[in-house]
Amino acid sequence: MLRKVIIYFVLVVVLFTSLFFTIVYYATYSEGARSGELIKFSNKGYIFKTWEGELSQGLSGNKIFAFSVLDSDQEIIDELNKYQGQYVKVTYVERYKTFPWWGDTTYFVTKVEKEQSPIFGGK
């Protein structure tokens, strides 16, 4: 009897853990695009190195949009490194949660485009 209870308990834990990781991996909370000056993009971390960036969306730099990029998105990483300090538009998905090896934020960039700054005329 006790053995059946333990087996059922382990199966329920495995099922819920699998369900949780499936939702975290596939489900997105929102998606959209933001524009701003790319003020930071770096590969950081002690155990897990992740790509993290920041867009300045205000004149004084008080509106910062922090985002992550998955290691598998090498084309996006290369473009963001190229556009450092320039005005860009990023398309992103927001996830409910993240894994430590994915990034620090729940925002993940899926596309980046160089744009002309509405304030400085592309400078």
The domain total for the chain is: 1
Asked whether residue 5 is assigned to any structural domain, the reply reads no
Asked whether residue 60 is assigned to any structural domain, the reply reads yes
pLDDT at 122 over 60: no
Exposed e or buried b for every residue in 16-51, given b needs 16+ CB within 10 A? eeeeeeeeeeeeeeeeeebbbbbeebeeeeeeeebb
Asked whether residue 2 is assigned to any structural domain, the reply reads no
Structure tokens at 64: 């910062």
Over residues 36-48, the mean pLDDT reads 93
Domain containing residue 73: CATH number: 2.40.50.140
Domain that holds residue 70: 28-114
Over residues 21-30, the mean pLDDT reads 85
Asked whether residue 7 is assigned to any structural domain, the reply reads no
Share of the chain above pLDDT 90, in %: 67
Residue ranges of the alpha helices (H) in 27-91?
A: 74-82
Identify the three-state secondary structure at position 16. helix
Q: pLDDT-based confidence at 26, cuts 50/70/90? A: confident
Asked whether residue 105 is assigned to any structural domain, the reply reads yes
Q: Pick the more confident residue, 75 or 122.
A: 75
Structure tokens at 57: 């969306």
Asked whether residue 46 is assigned to any structural domain, the reply reads yes
pLDDT at 60 over 80: no
Asked whether residue 91 is assigned to any structural domain, the reply reads yes
pLDDT at 44 over 70: yes
